[in-house]
Chain A
């Protein structure tokens, strides 16, 4: 972890991942500016920062909105390294985007090397329930299998938009306090992991 800011509120770094066109940017912009953007323009990598009040405490959220398109797959590792929590987004109207979450999950776990990284599975576009292609039980099943929460959102109607960001920030925060409490223990843990890795290589 890089050095923490010495002054100012705590900073939580959130990364939006998921296939192209599932609504990562729409969710981000809805959360940031309370508006729904209809025009689609593929993102490369945009970052946003905002001060919010999380359970009575002022914190900063840093959102990195990444590219879903396959051409950017190779750079993703570099981005993922800086994230403290992930919103893995898919569209409930697009089964392919749901299948792709598996890959994103694997890539994140590989890069962060941490099974319990704060992570939320997000099914977006729930206002289009009549066009649903991914059954709810399947989504919940996958979330359960990974041991992460599953939330359905709509960037259009703003349903659950704040919830996903705040839930994730809460997880990040509790992870951080846990970390600082048992720094020595985790350090050991990390050492172990590193050793394991060395052996593998």
Chain B
């Protein structure tokens, strides 16, 4: 078929021409019909294929977008880490500083780079900010960017401003409507205090800077920008202190040089002392191969440069060699060194793992892969998995906190996170049975914590049954999904929530019983005043599963009391909540008793002896409850919970009558 249909793909395809040819080719109507159906089926195929393609592309797009956002957060973290490293290096350099010449040259190279950046920035300031007249010579550029100044009282934007931050000056410009800058004022960063505004009536990404002429609230575009400003202001603030210490070190440099030279001579003398002994020893003994002798230094360097894989392989190589041949004279010393380095490497890797604490969980999982793998190879899997799980704990918990604050779906997030951790964990430690049991224990601990948080924040005393049922459903669905990866936590989860839920059900039962029959009923049919009211009531009831149209009389009347109608509605919605809760065997009885009690309470309401009522109408209401409402409720319960509601069925049989005349007679005397 595709052969014939290729026709359609041709560029010079024309409908009228095609039809003409078709008509010429075909003989008789039946063949034309056949061709038509063929073309039709091709059309169907194409459209479904198109849909599939669009869907596939869409999914791919979503995947990619997710990936990008993960990568973005990772990049941000990387830049943060780099910044830390840079600061650390800077401190180290200041410490050792001027005494070493080769380091000095490095320093100047870096300073050159900084300088060129600063020069570029200075040039742009000169070009862009016409009103600024101060000198910018010899200043270090730190950051620039646009911010929005907010009113301190009602947080409405006042104006757009542009900041240039140098080491000892902050230039504030106003962004005019034509996007040109206008110089406003300048501050000394050491006289500015920056406050990170964490919570201010929903204003996001804002900082507060306290300047000598009052405080200002400024809003940044993104969280990253905000954090960068806070950091840069801090750098600017500390810049002068740093410079002071630099000067001090410069003045002390002579002293240091002297010390250094004395150290040098010492080390030389110690070398001189060492070499002769080595030589004397070598006369009779074997030598270690050269690579092994320098291995320890090499490994140290590799660890420092963060080439952990190479370091590990070198360690392993050395160990293997030593196992085969340890007859040479300094083998014990080398073995000791290698052993120390190995523990050092594992410590570094463990530290590397724990560094990811308090960061985005996805990024954490990604970036822990490398140290986990290496630690696994080193036989440190158990230590690694403990640290890894600790890191995950803090990641999950902070994500939960965040979600709670933003009113997001905590349950789904929690179980997704749990699943991600579990998959990542299995990837790293699949072969280690001991570790897998660690994971199980950890999952239980996290689950317990999660349950306690859930109880604390969502399942408090006096919660509405409906909300509780919704919350519990929200937990169960994602929890059950974990079965897919072989993690069955449902039972445990139910156990953790059971006590609280039982309490809530009992409490609701007492509360609901109090409200049943509280309002005095006149035992009159229910008048809904307008047709549309009646219509919407019937629709509402139908949604709940009860067809009341048979009870309609006249245009706007229902032949039941208002309290009966209201009770039907209430009872069905409570049944729904109870059915959700009763999905688990242990809660079934409690919810059934709740339903039974409120039903019987409503059923037992008697008309006030003070008013005259139509007794037939009273019994009509009662029998409606038994004959119509109860079966619907029982069915609904079974459908939603998947379990038979025996208690309600029994009630139904008991109240119904003929087969059991006794209860009926009791009931009748009650009414009469």
What residues of chain B lie closer than 8 Å to A41, measured between beta carbons? 358
CA of A41 to CA of B398 in the docked complex: distance in angstroms? 12
Cβ–Cβ < 8 Å partners of B208 in chain A: 47
Which DSSP category, helix, strand, loop or mixed, fits chain A's interface? mixed
Please judge, given known A-B contacts A6-B153, A8-B153, whether A45 and B358 are in contact too, CB under 8 Å: no
Complex CA–CA separation, A5 to B208 (angstroms)? 17
**Most central of B153, B193, B194, B215 by chain A CB within 10 Å:** B193
Interface-located stretch among A75-83, A93-101, A157-165, A169-177:
A75-83
Listed stretches B195-203, B425-433, B581-589; interface member: B195-203
Q: Given A2-B214, A74-B241, A79-B210, are A50 and B230 also a contact pair (CB < 8 Å)?
A: no
A145 → B minimal CB distance (Å): 30
A71 and B91 CA atoms in complex are apart in Å by 14
Task: Give, as a whole number of angstroms, the nearest-CB distance from B459 to chain A.
Answer: 16
Contact at A5–B153, with CB atoms within 8 Å?
yes
Closest Cβ of chain A to B359, distance in Å, is: 11
Contacts of B199 in A (CB 8 A): 32, 47-50
Name B195-244 residues within 8 Å CB distance of A: 195-201, 208, 210, 214-215, 230, 234, 237-238, 241
A25 to B462, CA, bound (A): 31
Closest chain A residue, CB of each to CB of B241:
A74
Within 8 A of B (CB), among A7-58: 7-8, 32-33, 35, 37, 39, 41, 44-50
Query: B394 contacts A44, CB within 8 Å?
Result: no
Q: Are B234 and A44 in contact (CB under 8 A)?
A: yes
Say yes or no: is B401 at the interface (Cβ < 8 Å to chain A): yes
In the complex, whether A64 has a CB less than 8 A from a CB of chain B is yes
CB of A78 within 8 A of CB of B193, answer yes
How many angstroms between the C-alpha atoms of A49 and B230 in the bound complex? 19
Q: In the complex, what distance in Å separates the CA atom of A6 from the CA atom of B152?
A: 11
Contact status A75-B193, CB under 8 Å: yes
Asked if B405 is at the interface of the complex by the 8 Å CB criterion, the answer is yes
Chain B residues closer than 8 Å to A33, beta-carbon distance: 405
Distance between Cα atoms of A176 and B241 in the complex (Å):
38
Chain A residue nearest in CB terms to B393? A39
In chain A, positions 167-199 with a C-beta closer than 8 Å to chain B are none
A120-144 CB mask vs B (1 if < 8 Å, else 0) is 0000000000000000000000000
How many Å from the CB of B106 to the closest CB on chain A? 27
Q: Which of A6, A8, A35 contacts B401 (CB 8 A)?
A: A35
Q: Which chain A residues border B192 with CB–CB below 8 Å?
A: 78
Question: In the bound complex, how far is the Cα of B405 from the Cα of A39, in angstroms?
Answer: 17
Q: Judging by beta carbons under 8 Å apart, are A46 and B196 in contact?
A: yes
Question: Scoring B residues 394 to 432 as 1 if CB is less than 8 Å from chain A, else 0, what string do you get?
Answer: 100110010001000000000000000000000000000
**Cβ contact within 8 Å between A39 and B398:** yes
Q: How many residues of B contact A (CB 8 A)?
A: 30
Cα-based distance from A2 to B196 in the complex (angstroms): 20
- Kindly provide the distance from the CB of A144 to the nearest chain B CB, expressed in whole angstroms: 32
Shortest Cβ distance from residue A73 to the other chain B in the assembled complex, whole angstroms = 11
Over the window 98-113 of chain A, the binary record of Cβ atoms lying under 8 Å from chain B Cβ atoms (1 yes, 0 no) is 0000000000000000
* Chain B residue with Cβ nearest A49: B200
B154 lies within 8 A of chain A by Cβ: yes
- Chain A residue with the shortest CB-CB distance to B357: A39
Cross-chain contact B357 with A45 (CB below 8 angstroms): no
Bound CA span A46–B200, Å: 11
Hey, which chain B residues are within 8 Å of A48, CB to CB? 198-200
A49 contacts across to B, CB distance below 8 A: 199-201
B518 at the interface (CB under 8 A from A): no
Taking A2-B214, A39-B357, A79-B210 as contacts, is the C-beta distance between A45 and B405 under 8 angstroms? no
Given that A8-B153, A39-B358, A81-B210 are contacting pairs, would A45 and B193 also be in contact in the complex, using a CB cutoff of 8 Å? yes
Tell me the bound Cα distance from A35 to B452 in angstroms. 13
- Is B20 in the interface zone, CB < 8 Å from A? no
Partner of B195, one of A46, A50, A74, A81: A46
Contact for B153 among A7, A45, A79, A82, CB less than 8 A: A7
List the B side residues contacting A74 at CB < 8 Å.
237, 241
B191 at the A interface (CB under 8 A): yes
Q: Is B195 a contact partner of A45 (Cβ separation < 8 A)?
A: yes
Q: Are the CB atoms of B195 and A47 closer together than 8 Å?
A: yes
Contact (Cβ within 8 A) B241 A78: no
Among residues of A, the one whose C-beta sits closest to the C-beta of B155 is A49
Which residues from B are CB-within-8-Å of A46?
A: 195-198
Contacts of B153 in A (CB 8 A): 5-8
Asked if residues A78 and B196 are in contact (CB atoms below 8 Å), the reply is no
Residues of A within 8 A of B215 (CB): 2, 82
Q: Report the Cα distance A116→B201, complex, angstroms.
A: 31
Which chain B residues lie closer than 8 Å to A82 at the CB level? 210, 215
For B238-275 the 0/1 string (1 means CB < 8 A from A) is: 10010000000000000000000000000000000000
Q: How far is the CA of A44 from the CA of B401 in the complex (A)?
A: 21
Q: Within the assembled complex, what's the spacing in Å between the Cα atoms of A78 and B213?
A: 12
Residues of A within 8 Å of B201, CB to CB, are 49
Beta-carbon nearest neighbor of B401 in chain A: A35
Cβ–Cβ contact B198 & A79, under 8 A: no
Enumerate B304-352 residues with CB–CB distance to A below 8 Å.
none
B356 CB, min distance to chain A CBs, angstroms: 13
Cβ contact within 8 Å between B394 and A79: no
Give the residue name and chain of the B residue nearest to A33 (CB): B405
A residues less than 8 Å from B152 (CB atoms): 5
Contacts of A2 in B (CB 8 A): 214-215
Do A75 and B196 touch across chains, with their CB atoms under 8 A apart?
Answer: no
Chain B residue numbers with a CB within 8 Å of A81 are: 210
The 24 sampled A-B contact pairs (Cβ below 8 Å) are A2-B214, A2-B215, A5-B153, A32-B199, A37-B401, A39-B357, A39-B358, A39-B397, A39-B398, A44-B230, A45-B194, A45-B196, A46-B197, A47-B195, A47-B199, A47-B200, A48-B198, A48-B200, A49-B201, A75-B193, A78-B191, A78-B192, A78-B193, A82-B215
Interface residues of B (CB under 8 A from A): 152-154, 191-201, 208, 210, 214-215, 230, 234, 237-238, 241, 357-358, 394, 397-398, 401, 405
Measured CB to CB, the residues of A under 8 A from B are: 2, 5-8, 32-33, 35, 37, 39, 41, 44-50, 64, 71, 74-75, 78-79, 81-82
A-B pairs with the 5 shortest C-beta distances?
Answer: A78-B193, A48-B199, A5-B153, A45-B195, A46-B198
Other A-B pairs, 7, CB within 8 Å; known A44-B196, A47-B195, A49-B201: A2-B214, A5-B153, A7-B153, A8-B154, A39-B358, A44-B230, A45-B194
